Amino acid sequence: MVTDEGAFMADQDQNDKALRALFPTFMLEADFPGFQQEKDALLRRVYAIRDEDEAGRQWSAQHYPHGYTSYHSQDKLYSDPVFKNMVDYLFACAYDFGAKQFWDLDHFELIMTQLFCNVNGKDCVHNDHVHPYSQISGVIYLKADAGTSTIHFNDPRTARWIVPAPLKQNRPENALVTTLRPEEGKTFLFPSWLEHGVAQNQIEGERVSMSYNFDLRMKSSK
């Protein structure tokens, strides 16, 4: 139940007709401030992981054509010291994301459960999917050349797809599918249940990103 105190007011005109956003889907967009200083080191480490990860390359060759992901082989990269500053920043973003939605962060804490790397070569595509069993998921871009593939998010309200209203203006707030352009150093945090995917990469350059998941767990009583 949402009371007036917790209601989000989207717009109100002079005739006191209010438009409320009752079930909004929030996303946090942020830029890693230390990215330019760490970019080369981050990319070198990702490529080294790919070169060393035979199991990940074999899985990717079968299930992720023209690309590489360490999701099924090395998904605990938050322990790697090369990624420490980036991980600290992602934690700060995740707590900001939760606090702005009034999550109970006094009694619960956010735990990063996965951090894995992705290299999307030409023609690589990532089909629509969700991240089950997590509260927050996200991606941070380490290499994103001009024209690289976009990430898109699907309206999670399935009933809206049945009889969508005709639109005079297609905006992120009312679209069935919202597409965002990757930028180097940028991260998107979103609810793990929000379906998303990556369009086919049409350029020669590889797009490099890291994906992550957070769980919300009760704090220890100790």
> What digits encode the pLDDT tens for the residues 162-201?
888 888 887 878 889 999 999 999 999 999 999 999 999 9
CB-CB contact of 188 with 109 (8 Å): no
Read off the pLDDT band of 214 (50, 70, 90). Answer: very high
User: Is residue 131 situated within a structural domain?
Assistant: yes
How many domains does one find in the chain? 1
User: Is residue 111 situated within a structural domain?
Assistant: yes
pLDDT per residue over 11-34, tens digit each? Answer: 555 667 888 888 899 999 999 999
C-alpha neighbours within 13 Å on the C-beta side of residue 73: 17
Across the strands, what pairs with 126?
198
User: Is residue 165 situated within a structural domain?
Assistant: no
User: Is residue 146 situated within a structural domain?
Assistant: yes
**According to the model, what pLDDT value does residue 14 have?**
62
Q: Which residue's entry shows tokens 């500053």?
A: 85
CB-CB contact of 184 with 144 (8 Å): yes
**According to the model, what pLDDT value does residue 169 have?**
84
CB-CB contact of 29 with 188 (8 Å): yes
Single-letter amino acid code for the residue at 84: K
Q: Which residue's entry shows tokens 């401030």?
A: 33
User: Is residue 212 situated within a structural domain?
Assistant: yes
User: Is residue 10 situated within a structural domain?
Assistant: no
**According to the model, what pLDDT value does residue 7 have?**
40
User: Is residue 39 situated within a structural domain?
Assistant: yes
What is the average pLDDT score of the chain?
Answer: 91
Domain that holds residue 120: 28-155+177-218
**177 Cβ contact partners less than 8 Å away, ≥ 6 residues apart:** 152, 153, 154, 155
**According to the model, what pLDDT value does residue 10 have?**
53
Q: Is 61 left (phi over 0), alpha (psi -120 to 50) or beta?
A: alpha
User: Is residue 189 situated within a structural domain?
Assistant: yes
DSSP state of 206: P
pLDDT per residue over 35-63, tens digit each? Answer: 999 999 999 999 999 999 999 999 999 99
SS3 of residue 91 by DSSP: helix
Residue 6, pLDDT > 70, answer no
Q: The pTM is what?
A: 0.90
**CATH assignment at residue 106:** 2.60.120.620
The whole-angstrom separation of Cα 19 and Cα 9 is: 7
Q: Write out 133-202 in H/E/C secondary structure.
A: CCCEEEEEEEECCCCCCCEEEECCCHHHHCCCCCCCCCCCCCCCEEEECCCCCEEEEEECCCCEEECCCC
Structure tokens at 15: 């005739």
